[in-house]
Structure 1
């Protein structure tokens, strides 16, 4: 498989990526607000209750200032002196309102936290499920750390908005409207003075929001880079590579460089808009003093303003300050989080190039289960420019049920690509790949995968027990089935010799086991699945001769009665195959048995000579005799 070149690790690469991220802008997503709103659709009932509580709470918070006016005019300073019973009644009513408001606030916080976290959790699972459906090519061209960052950092970055936005917007908006109504009822002249500069502040807020959104996008890109560096260098393979070449310090510096950039972006994000909010607070703080001065002029001009009215007005105006600031902060947060939502929805909008047909066919009882056929198959990998590099051309062959066939050839000839087309990791760009008499593109991909067991050169084991790794193929397998699969793979005795037996933890990617042990566990896992087709992609090429012999014996046992397709580099592992296909530059150039191909003296014979296989099994038997 060919692919685009990776940037050279080190400072130059980091600088290039940093410059690229510095110019990052959020992806464009249509109907973003509507799509965010749809996230809350499953929680309508709880959201409606939350909104009702917010409305009640917002309305209650405006009542105390109006009661304050009554307390001044009817309780403290009425004609004839203070009226204690009226004042006590008003004070008691104010206390009751604050107690009820506090209780409603606790209930509201619980509801908003529940809704927000459920929405965030659903989004994270849906994104994970969507990524699981993406084709293999998506993962070969995207860093694992970048994908992890979208799931963790981007989704986590919108948590606060999902939890608090609805209640904050509605609560603050209702409070602002109620406060403005109360202020107008108290004095329309003073209200004009209090709100005269608010339109200018709203315009300034929009400009600050655009700056914060741009910084947020750069911050998330930097977090993606940091996650990618962590995933690459702190995995077992990455740390072995760094230690082998003494590159720990340079890897630390690479991470430290990105970390410094992240710190700078976080500081910029924290400081962006602080001057604006300081200006808003100054404006809202000096308004009461201005109100006192204007009130004096109005009273002097004959306006009917009592002390209670002025105190109540400034109290309401003070109550206006925090919800107004809250609305502006939410507006900024929405502009900032819009960049994160856009990055999340960008992944949701990716469509897998390999999908199930609208009306899938199915392999029936009368179909040749285990029969694999290529009909004039061609395939090209898209490169970074969008053009296509042809890998396979006019490839045709048939693997009958129970037959063992092999593909050999030089590196880059196209052998592994053939193995990727059978389970539909990629789709052929020409011709047809047939499974059980059906074009695999007309079958559900899961049905295709159910027919195939794959043992590759790079065995992947989870950081879990041997039992859990084996049962990954068949979670409902019995203990007996699991042990029989291990016996068939010639690994049961080795497993039982471990102190913890099948409950032995294999370590990251199975690094606590030898290469041969990992491969035989992988074979046992496939045998537990019991597929009709076995796909071996250079399953022994990375092993020493002793391990290779043990694994090869296990593979020979495993392939009995199954259609076996082997991709091989070492010809010694496939000399007993029913048919050997020689692949060169994306074409099958020779086909036959090991003896026939050697006798033909062509490309296969040349490969055999380079590997020291200059005799046929019959000649070897004659020599031994």
Structure 2
């Protein structure tokens, strides 16, 4: 079996090492971008039609101008002049309405695409194993979900439709120039290939700088998330590192400012050549027209005026196309970062036809069969075999680093074993549905995680439809009801960031109450009472024992006083089972457990 538990370098680390060009080619394809737009094809067709019609109508104006200059004004034909002027007004009004409509539709489509991409990325991240998040900084994940996708907003809501609009105007204008005078058109077209080449160089430069810029944004976000959390503040102030963190932030922020400046200014001298060439087009046109007239070729003044008008009409959209090409290149860098996360495979996946096991049907217990597991190259569990009988209290003890917490991760299938099997009532854990596992196993760890919300919201996260009586029942079992009743806001009291407005013991008890609210048949406590005093711990143990139906209780503990009454104690050392039995039996064996009990 291939290992799903190893911890490879995070995507962010890998991408830093990879060549960006290769990264973009692997993750960003034209077909994939079309896939993002596919659900909105009807709206996009409408936008393209409006753009095309507006582009075609826009090139009518120079022909109307030529008729005014060459026909209506010399002949002093007021009626023709009025009709031609009315035509110019009508074209302008039509273009204004068409542009307004397509802009509104395009913004709606762009926002929908961003919403779909953001939701899809968040859903995919939820499917990844614990190994991914253990090796990736939270700020990096947040940066891709927020700033990277937000950076695509202009591209999706404006740039894409603007590109189509400007392309239609440019195409129609080029055709009109050929129809007006193909000779003058050829003079104008001569510089375009050079301009396109220069623009391509600028786009490549800014794409790579944008990628580096977003990586720096992610670094800054990660540092902010770590250093400005409640735990980060405690760490920096108690270690006297506030000044260091401020200096590090200043350094990172300065680097980001340099990259942002570079992203906006890279290739400026090349782009200056583009502006210069476009500014010279009217002079080249007049020069060409004069040469043609000098050679006896017929070129009317109206044609020259109309041609200059077309060039003016060509200038702005052509510049916008060049700018949009750069925006697309920068957007490709952002998509490479987003798609690289979307392409990160989920290593812990649900079976195609998963098995369900009702909570009340769990009767036999859990069995580890020759289970081995490693974090990368570091082996943690080695050929481990044991049983946890249903309805009994089984304790796992052993030295720090022996693999006890890893066993809890495997029990909840946060990781998959590299070798061997874990069975619930004889069913391989890989065959059980995720919903079944979530309903069977309730876990409380030493490192409790609470939402920055009210006590009630934290409880309802486990059971949204719980009645108030059920909330108080769970708090009572966790020995926290008296504390909550004494708060002015009661259940509505906030707990702060990661619960830091509560004491360590209160956080653990609230976490335990949240788990009990789900009423799972299997309760796994991983040092879940380490912050409690002895009397509260004893009261909680009694409360757990008083739960109505038999529970399968699995305790992971360093303090042996918390597991003395367990039905079975498993002693784990260096990822292997070395002893098992009751407290009295293990003491009599005079082995590792007896030594731990002696030193307790």
- The corresponding residue for 2:187 is 193
- The corresponding residue for 1:63 is 60
**Distance (whole Å) between structure 1 residues aligned to residue 8 and residue 82 of structure 2:** 80
Give the conservation status (yes or no) of the 8 Å contact 1:62–1:175.
yes
**Distance (whole Å) between structure 2 residues aligned to residue 101 and residue 565 of structure 1:** 72
- The corresponding residue for 2:409 is 420
The correspondence for 1:46, drawn from 35, 38, 43, is: 43
Q: What is the SS of the residue equivalent to 2:23?
A: coil
The answer to whether the aligner puts 1:27 opposite 2:16 as a matched pair is no
Give the conservation status (yes or no) of the 8 Å contact 1:75–1:83.
yes
Instruction: Give deviations 1:46-99, integer Å, cap 9, x for gaps.
Output: 111111111111112211111100111122123xxx212211111111112112
**Distance (whole Å) between structure 2 residues aligned to residue 478 and residue 363 of structure 1:** 26
What TM-score, normalized to structure 1? 0.91
The answer to whether the aligner puts 1:564 opposite 2:561 as a matched pair is no
Give the conservation status (yes or no) of the 8 Å contact 1:233–1:239.
yes
What TM-score, normalized to structure 2? 0.94
Instruction: Give deviations 1:134-166, integer Å, cap 9, x for gaps.
Output: 000100011111111111121111221112243
Instruction: Give deviations 1:100-132, integer Å, cap 9, x for gaps.
Output: 211211111111111111101110110000000
**Distance (whole Å) between structure 1 residues aligned to residue 595 and residue 392 of structure 2:** 25
Give the conservation status (yes or no) of the 8 Å contact 1:368–1:437.
no
**Distance (whole Å) between structure 2 residues aligned to residue 501 and residue 331 of structure 1:** 57
- The corresponding residue for 2:576 is 587
**Distance (whole Å) between structure 1 residues aligned to residue 545 and residue 392 of structure 2:** 12
- The corresponding residue for 1:457 is 446
Q: What is the SS of the residue equivalent to 1:590?
A: strand
The correspondence for 2:278, drawn from 277, 284, 291, is: 284
- The corresponding residue for 2:217 is 223
- The corresponding residue for 2:492 is 503
Deviation of 1:33 after TM superposition, in Å, equals: 1.3
Q: 1:168 to 1:372 in 2, by over 3 A?
A: same
**Distance (whole Å) between structure 2 residues aligned to residue 415 and residue 294 of structure 1:** 85
1:244-283 equivalent positions in 2, closer than 5 A: 244-283=238-277
The answer to whether the aligner puts 1:373 opposite 2:370 as a matched pair is no
Q: What is the SS of the residue equivalent to 1:77?
A: helix
1:73-472 equivalent positions in 2, closer than 5 A: 73-78=70-75, 82-363=76-357, 367-369=361-363, 371-382=365-376, 388-472=377-461
Q: What is the SS of the residue equivalent to 2:118?
A: helix
**Distance (whole Å) between structure 2 residues aligned to residue 435 and residue 48 of structure 1:** 54
Give the conservation status (yes or no) of the 8 Å contact 1:486–1:524.
yes
**Distance (whole Å) between structure 2 residues aligned to residue 4 and residue 432 of structure 1:** 20
**Distance (whole Å) between structure 2 residues aligned to residue 530 and residue 453 of structure 1:** 8
Give aligned pairs, total.
Answer: 591
**Distance (whole Å) between structure 1 residues aligned to residue 19 and residue 48 of structure 2:** 40
Deviation of 1:439 after TM superposition, in Å, equals: 0.7
The answer to whether the aligner puts 1:578 opposite 2:578 as a matched pair is no
**Distance (whole Å) between structure 1 residues aligned to residue 488 and residue 71 of structure 2:** 86
The correspondence for 1:528, drawn from 496, 513, 517, is: 517
**Distance (whole Å) between structure 1 residues aligned to residue 489 and residue 109 of structure 2:** 44
**Distance (whole Å) between structure 1 residues aligned to residue 162 and residue 522 of structure 2:** 58
**Distance (whole Å) between structure 2 residues aligned to residue 353 and residue 143 of structure 1:** 19
Q: 1:439 to 1:227 in 2, by over 3 A?
A: same
Q: 1:351 to 1:49 in 2, by over 3 A?
A: same
Q: 1:516 to 1:550 in 2, by over 3 A?
A: farther
- The corresponding residue for 1:622 is none
Moved more, 24-33 or 90-99: 24-33
Give the conservation status (yes or no) of the 8 Å contact 2:505–2:531.
no
The correspondence for 1:486, drawn from 465, 475, 491, is: 475
Give the conservation status (yes or no) of the 8 Å contact 1:21–1:222.
no
**Distance (whole Å) between structure 2 residues aligned to residue 369 and residue 254 of structure 1:** 56
Instruction: Give deviations 1:329-360, integer Å, cap 9, x for gaps.
Output: 22222222212111111111111111011222
Deviation of 1:482 after TM superposition, in Å, equals: 1.7
* Structure 2: stretches of 5+ with no match in the other structure: none
**Distance (whole Å) between structure 2 residues aligned to residue 252 and residue 401 of structure 1:** 53
**Distance (whole Å) between structure 2 residues aligned to residue 514 and residue 39 of structure 1:** 47
The answer to whether the aligner puts 1:37 opposite 2:20 as a matched pair is no
Q: 1:260 to 1:370 in 2, by over 3 A?
A: farther
* Structure 1: stretches of 5+ with no match in the other structure: 7-16, 383-387, 612-625
Give the conservation status (yes or no) of the 8 Å contact 1:516–1:548.
no
Instruction: Give deviations 1:377-416, integer Å, cap 9, x for gaps.
Output: 221221xxxxx32211222222222100000010001111
Moved more, 67-76 or 440-449: 440-449
Q: 1:201 to 1:5 in 2, by over 3 A?
A: closer
Deviation of 1:456 after TM superposition, in Å, equals: 0.6
Give the conservation status (yes or no) of the 8 Å contact 2:477–2:544.
no
Q: What is the SS of the residue equivalent to 1:67?
A: helix
Give the conservation status (yes or no) of the 8 Å contact 2:479–2:536.
no
Instruction: Give deviations 1:270-317, integer Å, cap 9, x for gaps.
Output: 111322222212211121122112212212222222211110010001
Moved more, 361-370 or 49-58: 361-370
Q: 1:497 to 1:3 in 2, by over 3 A?
A: farther
